[in-house]
Amino acid sequence: MSKSDDQADALTQVENFYQEKDKVLPGFFAHSDVYFLYHQYRIIHAQLFWTTGMCLLAAIIVSTVVISHPIAVLIVLGVMLMVFVDLLGCIPLCGVSLNSISMINMVMAIGLVVDYNMHIVHGFMKQDPQLPRDKRTVLAMKELGVPVAKGVFSTFLGILPAAFGRSEIPRIFFKLFLAIVLVGGTHGLVLMPVVLSIAGPPARMAHSCMPKERDQVAASVLGHAV
């Protein structure tokens, strides 16, 4: 059986068989070394979405604390969901099946992708709110575009030796991590600036006054106090 669905169905049929026979012969059971592999295919979809959902929830909480604007948090969440869907599509394109190894990569991808996107949004939110969205996006990319790109490239260099592994597991890690850095990096460096330039929210209250304006307000308050 080459398909994971067939393997999961086969295990279910075997379990139903020996559970029925256990009524006649107590203690009767069937076992094979591959059954634990077959079992993972029965729970892999639910576990993947449950674990990924918890990771996305943690990312939303962190984004809320760091960015402090609901529209910006929704933008980050939307782009991360797009990346997750794209990575699901990359699994069959890479010739990899959905199993425990690819699931680990999918879960780890959330931590990488949120960095690629949240840094850009955070840089956008720090800019002068009086500037148009396009200008704030350009300033954010000048400030953080190169560091994020270096992070993407360094991650690629870190997983490059896995491409020369002799076993299948390192090669799977390389294929999926390559998809993560390519998909996550392009969404953070290409898609996110476009989204911010079109629908970027106002700056946070903490950054709503530039240093010069804060100095003027402070001087005015001190003058009235004197």
Q: Which two tokens stand for residue 182?
A: 């390519």
Domain limits, the chain: 1-31, 44-225
Write out pLDDT tens, residues 44-80: 888 888 998 898 899 889 888 888 788 999 999 999 9
The residue-averaged pLDDT of 19-39 equals 76
Higher-confidence residue of 210 and 31: namely 31
Q: Are 111 and 177 in contact (CB under 8 A)?
A: no
Residue 191: band (very low, low, confident or very high) from pLDDT cuts 50, 70, 90:
very high
Question: Using CA of residue 7, residue 12, residue 16, residue 21, what is the dihedral sign?
Answer: positive
In tens, the pLDDT along 109-136 reads: 888 888 889 899 999 998 888 899 999 9
Q: How far is CA 78 from CA 75, 82, 83, 187, 188, in A?
A: 5, 6, 9, 11, 12
CB-count burial class (<10 Å; 0-12, 13-18, 19+) for 27: exposed
* Residue ranges in 165-210 assigned as alpha helix (H): 168-186, 192-199
pLDDT at res. 226: 39
CATH fold group of domain 44-225? Multidrug efflux transporter AcrB transmembrane fold (1.20.1640)
- Is the overall model pTM greater than 0.75, yes or no? no
